[in-house]
A and B are shown apart, each in its own frame.
Chain A
Amino acid sequence: MTINKTILAAVAGVALLSAPVLAQDASSSAVPAASEASASAASSQEVATAAADQQEPIVKQHWSFAGPFGTFDQNQLQRGFQVFKEVCSNCHSARLLAFRNLSEPGGPHFSEAQVKALAATYQIDDPDAEGGKRPGLPSDHWPSPFPTEKDARDANGGALPPDMSVLAKARGVEDKFPDWLFNYFTTYAEGGPDYIHALLNAYADPPAGFTLPDGKYYNKVFAGHAIGMPPPLSDGQVQYAAAADGSTVPLTVDQYSKDVAAYLMWMAEPHLDANKAAGFRVLTFLILFAVLMYLVKNRVWRKVEH
């Protein structure tokens, strides 16, 4: 039996260590499809070359929603929404976001009246309405800035601004061994926000010898470094109102990008708070139940030599 126990421990160790390892490797090429924002649908050849380039290492940020006990910071989400609304949404769509989501708990949690007023400021396409348009309702989805993909490309130098609904989960950070191993224990799922924050702060002048195609911008984090999106943020660009307790945050690109990355994470995972809270309760229950079941099992077996 001792031998078996040893084997059990060994295999469990190997198996537990390896399964996530390999899975992480599978997801390690978290570099976004470069073609998405490039002028034309890039061939896989181009993508491969781009991905092979050295990327600037991404500095992970502290996020309030990280870890098993993480929750979104409501003030940060409201600020992030403001950046999204005033800056991002001029070019990016977010077709899965409904106005009503903005008043739901676990999100920016605006009041229903605020959301109703906000929705009404948008004109929604509706063939049944007079003139084909009507003011928005909380049940409407976020209107897209361009009617078709072609319009979006034409307005953006041929590049397609990706839909932002789940963008924060469609991006990631590549960790080297053994760092990614720990991600399974820290439940690191903030690769998307980390990438977005890093990207928004990685605009720079191209290094000598780098030929930047026309209409492209140099970005240290973006795969291939030539991004179609002009630097979207600048210091002081978005005027935040003070929070309810009067506190303010600096009006910097770093702050804006953190706020909008957090907001995008909420938009991609709107029930994150509720899920994590439920997870804590479920795990507590499972652990207690397992302990009790272990005692039951031992009691059942106490008279049997095995």
Chain B
Amino acid sequence: MSAHGSKYTPTNPVAKWFEDRLPLIGFTKSTIIDYPTPKNLNYWWTFGGILAFMLGTQIVTGIVLAMHYTPNAQLAFDSVEAIKRDVNGGRLIQAVHATGASMFFFAVYVHIFRGLYFGSYKAPREVLWILGVIIYLLMMATAFMGYVLPWGQMSFWAAAVITNIFGAIPVIGDPILQLLRGGFAVDNPTLNRFFGLHYLLPFIIAAVVVLHIWALHVPGNNNPIGVDVKSERDTVPFHPFYTAKDFFGVLVFCIPFAWLAFFAPDILGHPDNYIQANPLVTPPHIVPEWYFLPFYAILRAIDFNFVLDSKLLGVIFFAGSILVLFFVPWLDTSKVRSGTFRPVFKWFYWLFVINFLLLMWYGAQEPAKVVLGPFTVADVSKLSVVYYFAYFLVVLPLLGRFEKPRPLPNSISEAVLKTPRAVSGADPAIPAAH
């Protein structure tokens, strides 16, 4: 998996015999123990480890839930309640899985925005980035289908609204819609296939995560200053340095996670989802989970016809808002990776973050809600959609040409020694580790 060779030579004859036939121990050692990692990674980088932990948590809790869940439109709602009521520890397992989805998305957004700020998508890490976008897409599909499984009102209507989006595609839209639903309307076949896919996709995610980590280990980590590793002095072995740091990160992350799972497991959900699905009653306000809101806002912002029908146009923007991420490595023309050294980029970047949060808020509001003066959510969200796309399609390509970046440090070690902490904290009695 890694480009750096194993330094492992077994002393035990059995281990040597095995290693000659399958170098598993050496592979593991070089991948998660010796792997040279830049020594200046900040806490933003712990979210990679946190995400691996969250995927594991979701898979383990999910498998246990699947043992007790019944994917049938008549029984699903009550079977989820039976898990909460009658399965030993069931309330907790269900709560961890449900709030875990939110925590997973929170972590993935931090991870993606970290990559966007520090230019982690730039050469030679384009494939690493693209694999990440694929994981994110798979996560969205998995989370959406998982949300349908409890078969509450919001589950049902989310399934109806989201599958409907595919119906807007010309020619093949209708067949896709029927394939997704297993019929003309959301019903038992929809629930069945969503359950099957919801069980399958996490393992595909795990497989792509393996590729993602592989693609990480070939060029090695990016780092906060974005300057390549120049010598061994710039790195530390992954273990114990980053295993300790990542583990600490995971523990801190678990504190708000446990807070929600134990004390307010439904706070991120919607009360309507405690009403069993009813195709005859539309909830007054159908909203997706918070992590889909920015994209939902983009979909809804396109409420006008322009050459194409508004429905199709909305779907194009909706899909485009995620597909554009695949091209970021080539859209950003700046040679400098880290946003730290890009004075103009920073402004656009933080505006992009704020804009993304605004879109999230718009997604939860009624389009007719008045925001500012005579303008409604439907109006102002168009502005946010424009900036969302302009950031990728205009700002990133042009900034690289016109921005004058600040001078880069020569190496990671040089940058590290310049920080105030390193100067004041340097103890002459302790020789440097490298």
Interface residues in chain A, defined as those with a beta carbon under 8 Å from any beta carbon in chain B = 1-5, 7-8, 11, 14-16, 18-36, 41-44, 47-48, 50-51, 67-68, 95-96, 101, 162, 165-167, 169-172, 183-184, 187-189, 191-192, 223, 268-271, 275-276, 278-280, 282-283, 286-287, 289-290, 293-294, 296-297, 300-306
What is the minimal beta-carbon distance from B430 to any residue of chain A, in angstroms? 6
Contact B248 A305 (CB under 8 A): no
**Docked pose: A44 CA to B433 CA in angstroms:** 68
Q: Which residues of A contact B282 (CB under 8 A)?
A: 43-44, 47
From known contacts A4-B340, A304-B433, infer whether A33 and B281 are also in contact, taking CB-CB under 8 Å: yes
CB<8 Å pairs between A and B, sample of 5: A33-B284, A187-B264, A290-B251, A296-B244, A306-B236
Interface residues on B, range: 35 or more
B421 CB within 8 Å of chain A: yes
Contact A41 B280, beta carbon cutoff 8 Å: yes
- CA of A5 to CA of B340, assembled, Å: 12
Q: Please determine whether A26 and B289 come into contact, CB atoms closer than 8 angstroms.
A: yes
Q: Is A23's CB under 8 angstroms from B353's CB?
A: no
**Contact of A170 with B258 in the complex, beta carbons under 8 Å:** no
Bound-state CA distance A223–B81 (Å) is 27
Which residue of chain A is the closest to B279 with respect to CB atoms? A41
- Residue of A2, A28, A304 touching B39 (CB-CB under 8 A): A304
For the complex, give the distance between the alpha carbons of A18 and B361 in Å: 9
* Selected contact of A188 from candidates B153, B264, B271, B430, CB within 8 Å: B264
Asked if B320 CB lies within 8 Å of chain A CBs, one says no
> In angstroms, how far is the closest chain A Cβ from the Cβ of B220?
16
Chain A residues within an 8 Å CB radius of B290: 19, 22-23, 26
Stretch from B40-48, B172-180, B192-200, B378-386 at the A interface? B40-48
Contact B361 A25 (CB under 8 A): yes
Mostly, the B contact residues are: helix
Q: Once the chains bind, are B270 and A18 in contact (CB under 8 Å)?
A: no
Taking a contact as CB atoms under 8 Å apart, the answer to whether A305 and B432 are in contact is yes
Determine whether the beta carbon of A68 is less than 8 Å from that of B340. no
B159 CB–A CB distance under 8 Å: no
Q: Which of A18, A172, A270 contacts B360 (CB 8 A)?
A: A18
CB interface residues, B 261-307, toward A, < 8 Å: 261-272, 274-275, 280-285, 287-290, 293
Write the nearest CB–CB distance from B250 to chain A, whole angstroms: 9
Report Cα–Cα, A303/B360, bound state, in Å: 43
Contact partners of B92 in chain A: CB under 8 A: 275, 278
Task: Choose one: A22, A44, A51, A192; the contact of B271 (CB below 8 Å).
Answer: A192
In the complex, the answer to whether A31 meets B42 with C-beta atoms within 8 Å is no
| Cα-based distance from A275 to B262 in the complex (angstroms) | 6
Contact with A along B401-425 (1 / 0, CB 8 A): 0000000000001001101111000
Answer whether residue B84 sits at the interface, using C-beta atoms and an 8 A cutoff: yes
Q: Which of B235-252 contact A (CB under 8 A)?
A: 236, 240-241, 244-245, 247-248, 251-252
**For residue A270, which residues in chain B have a CB less than 8 angstroms away from its CB?**
85
Contact A96 B364 (CB under 8 A): no
Instruction: With both chains docked as a complex, state the minimum distance between the C-beta of B238 and any C-beta of chain A, in angstroms.
Output: 12
Is the beta-carbon distance between B275 and A33 smaller than 8 angstroms? yes
Tell me which of A22, A33, A95, A268 contacts B153 (CB under 8 A): A33
* Chain B residues whose C-beta falls within 8 Å of the C-beta of A305 in the assembled complex: 39, 413, 416-417, 422, 426, 432
Chain B proximity of A213: nearest CB distance (Å): 18
**B255 contacts chain A at the CB level, 8 A cutoff:** yes
Instruction: Determine if A275 and B271 form an interchain contact, defined as CB atoms under 8 angstroms apart.
Output: no
Indicate if the CB atoms of B266 and A290 lie closer than 8 Å. Answer: no
The answer to whether A28 touches B364 (Cβ under 8 A) is: yes
Q: Contacts of B432 on A, CB cut-off 8 Å?
A: 303-305
Most buried by B among A22, A24, A183, A189: A22
A184, B426: Cα distance in complex, Å: 42
**Which residues of B, 33-81, contact A by the 8 Å Cβ criterion?**
39-40, 42-44, 78, 81
Give the docked Cα–Cα distance between A266 and B263 (Å): 14
Q: Any chain A CB within 8 A of the CB of B254?
A: yes
Contact A51 B285 (CB under 8 A): yes
Which residues on B sit within 8 Å (CB–CB) of A11? 110, 113, 353
Nearest-neighbor residue (CB-CB) of A27 within chain B = B270
| Top-10 shortest CB links A-B | A279-B262, A25-B364, A29-B285, A170-B274, A44-B282, A187-B263, A23-B290, A290-B251, A172-B271, A187-B264
Q: Are B44 and A170 in contact (CB under 8 A)?
A: no
Complex contact B267–A189 (CB within 8 A):
yes
Residues of B within 8 A of A50 (CB): 284
* A1 surroundings in chain B (CB, below 8 A): 40, 42, 224, 416, 419, 421
**CA A184 – CA B11 in complex, angstroms?**
55
Judged by a CB distance under 8 angstroms, whether B375 is at the interface is no
Q: Write the nearest CB–CB distance from B213 to chain A, whole angstroms.
A: 22
Asked whether any CB of chain A lies closer than 8 Å to the CB of B259, the reply is: yes
Complex CA distance for A294 and B254, rounded to whole angstroms: 14
Cα distance, A28 to B354, chains bound together (Å):
22
A-B contact sample (9 more), CB < 8 A, given A14-B353, A68-B262, A275-B262 = A4-B42, A7-B117, A25-B364, A51-B285, A280-B262, A282-B262, A304-B432, A305-B39, A305-B422
